[in-house]
Amino acid sequence: MLRSAARTFYSTVAGAALALSLPLAVEAQATSSANAFIEGIRANWRSQASMVTRSGEMMPDSAFSYRPVATVRTFGEVIAHVAGSQYMICAAALGEPARAEDAVEKIAKRKEEVVDAMKKSTAYCERAYAQNPTLLAQSTKLFGDTMTKFAALSLNAVHNGEHYGNLVTYLRMKGMVPPSSQPSR
């Protein structure tokens, strides 16, 4: 009888432990999935930011003022715009005071200034992309809209990709091979 009662007790405790641990396992799996999703966006953003930076590094300083037509930004202004946008978007994702989107574009004119600004804005954004999923699920304001911090960072990655596409065209028009078309380093 005692053995039967002990088995029943241990079975009940084991069942309760399993029942209590199941939500934790589901939460761990959800966190793992969220981390994988965030890591995917982070990897995409890093790739795009790197391509923008490398584009700036390879274009001669004398060509930073190049613009294919009068109605578009110069090569240097495109990169400065991306750097300024990164500061603005990542500040929103970090819950820090917003920076003006065009702040970098107004002050950085020469190649070394623009490339340095791009590198610094990327380093700043690393903090935003390193946040845990719980923080990234929180709301922030960007462009007058409420969105999650994760949505803001996704927008940043897409924005970088859009402007890298502009830079590819500028580089090709100058007879250069863009970073994404070069052999792997």
Q: What is the distance between the alpha carbons of residues 172 and 170, in angstroms, rounded to a whole number? A: 6
Task: Domain count for the chain, please give it.
Answer: 1
Q: Which CATH number fits the domain that encloses residue 149?
A: 1.20.120.450
Decide if 21 is inside a domain.
no
Average model confidence (pLDDT) for the chain?
Answer: 85
In 3D space, the residue among 163, 175, 184, 159 whose CA is nearest the CA of residue 58 turns out to be: 175
Q: What is the distance between the alpha carbons of residues 182 and 185, in angstroms, rounded to a whole number? A: 8
DSSP 8-state symbol, 146: E
What confidence score (pLDDT) does residue 180 get?
93
Range of the structural domain that residue 142 is part of: 37-181
Decide if 23 is inside a domain.
no
Decide if 5 is inside a domain.
no
Lowest mean pLDDT across 20-34, 132-146, 166-180: 20-34
Q: With the C-alpha atoms ordered 117, 119, 120, 125, is the resulting torsion angle positive or negative?
A: positive
Q: Which residues make Cβ contacts (< 8 Å) with residue 72, sequence separation at least 6?
A: 166
Decide if 25 is inside a domain.
no
Decide if 7 is inside a domain.
no
* Per-residue pLDDT tens digits for 57-89: 999 999 999 999 999 999 999 999 999 999 999
* Per-residue pLDDT tens digits for 83-110: 999 999 999 999 999 888 888 988 888 9
Decide if 8 is inside a domain.
no
Alpha helices by DSSP H, listed for the chain, are: 2-58, 75-94, 103-107, 111-129, 133-136, 149-173
Decide if 62 is inside a domain.
yes
Instruction: Read off the pLDDT of each residue in 161-175 and give the average, rounded to a whole number.
Output: 97
**pTM above threshold 0.75:** yes
* Per-residue pLDDT tens digits for 114-144: 999 999 999 999 999 999 989 999 999 999 9
Decide if 3 is inside a domain.
no
